[in-house]
Amino acid sequence: MNTDQPLDLTYDRSLIRPRLPRFPMVLRHFSRSRTAMIGLFLLTFWLIMALVGGLLAPYGMNQMEAGAVWKAPSAQHVMGTDQLGRDIFSRVMIGARQMVVLPALSVTFALLLGVSIGLTAGYVGGWLDEVIMRVMDVLMAFPIVMLYLIIIVAIGASAVNVVLALGIGAAPAIARLTRGLVLDLRNREFIAAARMRGESRLYILSREIFPNITAPILVDALVRIGYACFSMGALGFLGLGVPPPSPDWGRMVSEARTALIIMPTAPLFPALAIASLVVSFNLVADGMTEAMKVD
Amino acid sequence: MVRFLLKRGLTLFISMFVLSVLIFILSAVMPIDPALTVLGRESTPETRAALTEQLGLNRPLPERYLDWVGNFLRGNWGESYRLGVAILPLVQRRLLNSVVLAVLALTIIVPVSLTLGVIAGLKEGQPVDRSISVGSLVSISIPDFVIGLILIVIFSWWLRLLPGDSSLRGDDLDLLRDWRKLVLPAFTAAFVLIGYVARVTRVSMISVMGSAYIRTAILKGLPYRWVVLRHALRNALIAPIAVITTQVAWLVGGLIVIERLFNYPGIGSLFADAALRNDLPMIQASAMIAITLVVASQALADVLYAVLNPRIQMS
């Protein structure tokens, strides 16, 4: 360090917190990407469905029509009917809400767990870090669908338990990402400056480090919500999702699969709904990552 | 190298220990009464208590854990509560079926994804790259049962080329007789991973092609094809090959769904059936087998990575 000059904290740029990505710039790059805009369009569509799909649905989710079992798509039933004569189109629209809300809640839960674990491990370091990250590695080695199945069998299938299982499954990866980001920051000069100012550990973690890691963590969370939808579909497909009669898309696929020979379109509609929802999350997240790289 | 292997072996052992404890604890808190599962609802509380005693289920947890691990290691896996058959031979047969399916999927994944990734990486930013990138992003976003379903509708229902039901008589797989039943499940299992590995390969290829030694080789006047084949590929393929071996966990999880979709008798569908029917010893045995596979393949990946990339620190 140059000792000839007095240490002037206000003018040394390296001692000031790094600039966060500027949102107008990120937004502009984002809006230029065609795939990102397609993703945003799809995502907006499903978010609106999650809000008002239940009001727009032409039939009730459990409204059965006598003698209308496995009907082909028609003017009355745009996507046909299922094994109980229920309108598939209405069930897809009504099911959008839980398919968006439950994965979002599970990722919120996973963020609470994962970010606090990652912050602690990364900032405190030492043997605590070593132990925590070993356990996280082992948890990440567990085949994720298998982990969900075991958790659901252990605590039972319900909407709340699906959220818990998906959240526990996603937390280790978030913890690992957070820890990596913290390790990257903790030896920077603006942290050392804060430490020299005599700030407390909690202040440094919450006011200096946390704001600098939120952007990558939020983008990652988008991908995670996509994956949570993916996994929730798989759980529903295996019969361990949100219990009937709620319109769980994965369960609708597995129920309609038995009628594939009679009516191949019946499982396709809820299946395509899941796929387009997951694709929309991934396209938006990918567009955000690219846009933030440019800035 | 010896030290590296020893250290890796130790972490392997610790991971297996932690995972086996996890499986044991999770299965111990499951609201399943084994006696009720075995004897059915018509049984009296007395006979159930007697069976619980006989199965040793009222002893303290650590004792039960040691007993369970000991039996597992000695190949003494007990009987299924539901099927009333010995677990070990059943698991062996199902595992073989799953391994055949997984190997088939990998032989599709490796060449296709590496080729796509390398091409996309070399043509960064060009239309070829953009379509491969978007295509692989879409492929990793579509759940496996959706892909499987679409393949069934196209190839089985519409074109009538391949069977959509892969159940085997007596669970026995005869490749000459049953190969048609493996095609759709294998492509389904490959689909998601092709996108993922292609993306990793693309990024790795781009970073290698931008490095100083490649620029030197090109400036030296070596033909472009020679530079790519002899200089770039060697380094660019290290990361994706290591990634493929770590994706065995994903493959195992995917097989649970895919095997159920196609009614294929593998370890994944065995586990799912056991979980749905509360068959505790079967859940434990198939979960242990699956994680052994996963942990072992990850250790293999690390060793492979160290061999491929001599620069890695072995200490």
Task: Tell me the pLDDT tens digit for each residue of B112-121.
Answer: 999 999 999 9
Please tell me which of the candidates A154, A253, A279 has its beta carbon nearest to residue B29.
A154
B160, B234: one domain: yes
* Cα torsion A192, A197, A200, A206: sign: negative
Q: Tell me what percent of the residues of chain A surpass a pLDDT of 90.
A: 29
Q: Which residues of B touch A253 (CB under 8 A)?
A: 145-146, 149
Burial, A64: exposed, middle or buried (Cβ in 10 Å; 0-12, 13-18, 19+)?
Answer: middle
B112, B210: one domain: yes
What are B81-134's pLDDT values in tens digits? 777 788 888 888 888 899 899 999 999 999 999 999 999 999 988 899 989 988
Question: Is B24 in CB contact (< 8 Å) with chain A?
Answer: no
Which region holds residue B56: left if phi is over 0, alpha if psi is between -120 and 50, else beta? left
CA A155, distance to chain mean position in Å, is: 22
Range of the structural domain that residue B188 is part of: 94-308
Kindly determine whether residue A250 and residue B145, on different chains, have CB atoms separated by under 8 Å. yes
Lowest mean pLDDT among A72-81, A144-153, B217-226: A72-81
Please tell me which of the candidates A146, A150, A271 has its beta carbon nearest to residue B146.
A271
Please give the average per-residue pLDDT across A188-207, as a whole number.
86
Average of per-residue pLDDT values in chain B = 84
Q: What type of residue sits at position A3?
A: T
Please give the average per-residue pLDDT across B46-65, as a whole number.
78
Question: Is B189 in CB contact (< 8 Å) with chain A?
Answer: no
Please give, rounded to a whole number of angstroms, the shortest distance from the CA of A19 to a CA of chain B.
26
Question: Is B144 in CB contact (< 8 Å) with chain A?
Answer: yes
Residue B285 lies in a domain: yes
Give the A window 75-134 contacts with B, CB below 8 Å: 134
C-alpha–C-alpha distance, residues A136 and A37, integer Å: 35
pLDDT at B211: 87
- The residue ranking higher by pLDDT, A203 or B83, is A203
pLDDT reading at B32 higher than 80: no
B169, B249: one domain: yes
pLDDT at B105: 92
pLDDT reading at A258 higher than 90: no
Kindly determine whether residue A278 and residue B275, on different chains, have CB atoms separated by under 8 Å. no
Give the position of tokens 């900032």: A123
B38, B130: one domain: no
**A12 confidence band (pLDDT: 50, 70, 90):** low
What are B194-236's pLDDT values in tens digits? 998 999 999 999 988 888 888 888 888 888 888 888 888 888 8
Question: Is A238 in CB contact (< 8 Å) with chain B?
Answer: yes
B21, B99: one domain: no
Question: Is A269 in CB contact (< 8 Å) with chain B?
Answer: no
pLDDT at A294: 64
**Minimum Cα–Cα distance from B270: chain A residue:** A146
Question: Is B300 in CB contact (< 8 Å) with chain A?
Answer: no
Residue A97 near residue A246 (C-beta atoms within 8 A): no
pLDDT at B314: 47
CA distances in angstroms from B30 to A153, B33, B279, B280, listed in the order given: 7, 9, 11, 9
Q: Tell me what percent of the residues of chain A surpass a pLDDT of 70.
A: 92
Please give the average per-residue pLDDT across B278-307, as a whole number.
82
pLDDT at A295: 52
- The residue ranking higher by pLDDT, B257 or A27, is B257
pLDDT reading at B52 higher than 80: no
pLDDT at A106: 96
C-alpha–C-alpha distance, residues A227 and A232, integer Å: 8
Residue B81 lies in a domain: no
Number of helices and strands in chain B (H, E): 15, 0
Please give the average per-residue pLDDT across A41-69, as a whole number.
85
Q: Which residues of B touch A239 (CB under 8 A)?
A: 276
CATH class of A23-60+75-294: mainly alpha
C-alpha–C-alpha distance, residues A73 and A102, integer Å: 29
pLDDT at A74: 81
B32, B64: one domain: yes
pLDDT reading at A13 higher than 70: no
Which helix (H) or strand (E) segment is B308 a member of? helix B280-308
Overall domain count for chain B: 2
Domain ranges of chain A: 23-60+75-294
Please give the average per-residue pLDDT across A15-34, as a whole number.
70
Which region holds residue A60: left if phi is over 0, alpha if psi is between -120 and 50, else beta? beta
B64, B127: one domain: no
Tokens of B277: 């029917």
B20, B100: one domain: no
pLDDT at B312: 58
Residue B314 lies in a domain: no
C-alpha–C-alpha distance, residues B207 and A142, integer Å: 30
B103, B48: one domain: no
DSSP-assigned states of every residue in B1-35: -HHHHHHHHHHHHHHHHHHHHHHHHHHHHSS--HH
Residue B79 lies in a domain: no
- The residue ranking higher by pLDDT, B174 or A99, is A99
Please give the average per-residue pLDDT across B17-44, as a whole number.
77
**A18 confidence band (pLDDT: 50, 70, 90):** low
Please give the average per-residue pLDDT across B10-14, as a whole number.
83
What are B223-282's pLDDT values in tens digits? 888 888 888 888 888 888 878 877 877 787 788 999 999 999 988 889 888 888 888 888
| Domain CATH for B260 | 1.10.3720.10
Please give, rounded to a whole number of angstroms, the shortest distance from the CA of B287 to a CA of chain A.
8
Mutate to test the interface with A, among B19, B20, B25, B146 (most CBs of A within 10 A): B146
Residue B303 lies in a domain: yes
B68, B122: one domain: no
Q: Which residues of B touch A35 (CB under 8 A)?
A: 134, 137
Of A252, A238, A240, give the one whose Cα is nearest residue A82. Answer: A252
pLDDT at B107: 92
The model carries a pTM of: 0.84
Task: Identify the domain boundary among B73, B106, B129.
Answer: B73
pLDDT reading at A1 higher than 50: no
